[in-house]
């Protein structure tokens, strides 16, 4: 199988790593990729938001499968363009990706499907926003309606800050605050059959102890030893399957990766958000534990044959990933700094480094090229071992001004 992956972050590096280890994959390509992906795939400098260019590249390569990683190309209809060229593609249509692209659309689908989520109002004026904030009370949750790379959400007890965020967006969703721990549960679907993966937890805030601003995600781990037994089946029955069925009923069938961000509240499981693609950084730990070769699973989604797939096989152990971000992330990330210690971090074979925002210069040195720079990943018999291995590798890497959290998976590993 010849596979083309679209995107250039640590999620795509994780996808490419797994695909490169799948014996059925004979050729692996990625556009645009990054310095790390270039070590396992042939990279192509193609604009990932341009569906026609991506479809052309896929046709030229003779790709048997295209895997679209990030949300922006999905919302821009890149999967539609590839599908129209007759090439199997893993990822939803632009219309179905509105599940992530518009929070208001997602709320409407959830209402139609009877999926439990926070009560909410869609607001377009300061008056409406003020009314909604006061209806729910503090803490306030204000979400930009459009795509914001995980950074459009403000959760605050400061009413003025909540109002200011609402005013800075064209359209916002204001909703009730959900208490309780968060879980990310991914499912692969072909529009009818839904195959849940293993749950993971990510760390959205920039600083230890869940302080600081929301980010794209600073680390993740899987499995969740504290999660209630039966959680995956419950979410499949009450969230994932009803949502996929509702979208099919509406004529916007969803195939690809359905990501449910959940809060396990005192009043039951609630959906915080849906995403239309693999989550970053949870993908790094979920794929680290997946034993079933990946390409066949993604192809079954693309070709509508998931019901014929053998049950997925999983590593019994644990995986932890720690994100190294650049100085100033998320507000004003500094880029262009050399990264040292990448080989040393992987030297003992217990951890590996997935690249997020990196690029190679003319001398082959690896430079930072984005807010999140690396995703250092390790597996182990349990979370404590995976965590120790990941942090030992992080300690061998140097990036000027680089920052990482020191408490990824800490509570879960020591509970």
Residues contributing to the site for ligand AMP (CB under 6 A) = 118, 141, 143, 150, 153, 155, 175, 177-178, 182, 204, 214, 261, 272-273
Chain position whose Cβ is nearest to ligand AMP = 273
CB of residue 180 to ligand AMP, shortest distance in Å: 9
**C-alpha angle 26-66-192 in degrees, rounded to nearest 5:** 115
Whose Cβ is closer to ligand AMP: residue 144's or residue 246's? 144
Whose Cβ is closer to ligand AMP: residue 143's or residue 359's? 143
Whose Cβ is closer to ligand AMP: residue 38's or residue 163's? 163
Whose Cβ is closer to ligand AMP: residue 214's or residue 335's? 214
CB of residue 136 to ligand AMP, shortest distance in Å: 9
The answer to whether residues 366 and 338 touch, using CB atoms and an 8 Å cutoff, is: yes
C-alpha dist (Å) from residue 94 to 25, 65, 154: 27, 18, 26
DSSP at 55 = H
Q: How far apart are CA 335 and CA 358, in angstroms?
A: 9
CB of residue 268 to ligand AMP, shortest distance in Å: 14
CB of residue 243 to ligand AMP, shortest distance in Å: 15
Task: Using DSSP, state whether 330 is helix, strand or coil.
Answer: coil
Whose Cβ is closer to ligand AMP: residue 217's or residue 370's? 217
Report the 10 Å Cβ neighbour count for 56.
15
Short-list 7, 215, 307, CA closest to 16: 7
Whose Cβ is closer to ligand AMP: residue 89's or residue 257's? 257
CB of residue 330 to ligand AMP, shortest distance in Å: 12
CB of residue 144 to ligand AMP, shortest distance in Å: 9
Whose Cβ is closer to ligand AMP: residue 78's or residue 272's? 272
CB-based burial of residue 386 (10 Å sphere; 0-12 exposed, 13-18 middle, 19+ buried)?
Answer: buried
CB of residue 215 to ligand AMP, shortest distance in Å: 10
Q: How far apart are CA 81 and CA 60, in angstroms?
A: 14
Q: How far apart are CA 304 and CA 298, in angstroms?
A: 10
Whose Cβ is closer to ligand AMP: residue 93's or residue 184's? 184
CB of residue 211 to ligand AMP, shortest distance in Å: 13
Long-range contacts (CB closer than 8 Å, 24 or more residues apart) made by 163-167: 163/126, 163/129, 163/130, 163/133, 166/123, 166/126, 166/129, 166/133, 166/142, 167/126, 167/129
Strands of 316-360, DSSP E: 318-325, 339-340, 351-355, 358-360
Whose Cβ is closer to ligand AMP: residue 64's or residue 273's? 273
DSSP 257-315: EEEEEEEEETTEEEEEEEESS--TTHHHHHHHHB-S-HHHHHHHHHHT-GGGSPPP-B-
CB of residue 150 to ligand AMP, shortest distance in Å: 5
């Amino acid at each position: 199988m010849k596979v083309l992956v679209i995107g250039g972050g640590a999620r795509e590096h994780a996808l490419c790593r797994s695909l490169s280890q799948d014996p059925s994959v004979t050729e692996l390509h990625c556009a645009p990729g990054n310095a790390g992906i270039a070590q396992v795939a042939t990279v192509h400098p193609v604009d990932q938001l341009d569906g026609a260019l991506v479809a052309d590249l896929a046709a030229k390569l003779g790709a048997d499968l295209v895997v679209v990683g990030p949300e922006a190309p999905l919302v821009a209809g890149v999967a539609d363009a590839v599908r129209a060229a007759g090439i199997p593609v893993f990822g939803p249509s632009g219309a179905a990706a509105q599940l992530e692209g518009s929070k208001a659309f997602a709320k409407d689908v959830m209402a139609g499907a009877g999926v439990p989520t926070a009560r909410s109002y869609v607001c377009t004026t300061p008056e409406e926003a003020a009314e909604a904030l006061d209806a729910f009370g503090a803490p306030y949750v204000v979400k930009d309606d459009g795509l914001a790379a995980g950074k459009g959400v403000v959760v605050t007890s400061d009413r003025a800050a909540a109002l200011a965020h609402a005013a800075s967006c064209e359209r916002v969703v204001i909703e009730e605050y959900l208490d309780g721990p968060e879980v990310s549960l991914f499912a692969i679907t072909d529009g009818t059959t839904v195959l849940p993966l293993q749950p993971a937890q990510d760390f959205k805030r920039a600083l230890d102890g869940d302080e600081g601003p929301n980010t794209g995600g600073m680390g993740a781990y899987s499995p969740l030893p504290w999660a209630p037994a039966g959680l995956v089946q419950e979410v499949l029955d009450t969230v994932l399957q009803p949502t996929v069925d509702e979208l099919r009923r509406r004529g916007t069938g969803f195939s690809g990766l359905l990501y449910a961000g959940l809060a396990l509240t005192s009043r039951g499981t609630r959906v915080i958000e849906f995403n239309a693609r693999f989550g970053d950084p949870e993908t790094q730990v979920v794929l680290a534990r997946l034993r079933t070769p990946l390409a066949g699973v993604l192809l079954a989604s693309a070709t509508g044959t998931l019901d014929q797939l053998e049950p997925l096989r999983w590593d019994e152990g644990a995986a932890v990933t720690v994100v190294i971000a650049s100085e100033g992330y998320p507000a004003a990330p500094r880029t262009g700094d050399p990264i040292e210690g990448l080989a040393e971090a992987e030297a003992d074979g217990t951890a590996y480094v997935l690249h997020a925002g990196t690029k190679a210069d003319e001398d082959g040195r690896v430079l930072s090229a984005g807010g999140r720079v690396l995703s250092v990943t390790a597996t182990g018999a349990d979370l404590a071992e995976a965590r120790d291995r990941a942090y030992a590798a992080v300690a061998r890497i140097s990036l000027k001004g680089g920052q990482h959290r020191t408490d990824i998976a800490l509570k879960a590993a020591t509970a």
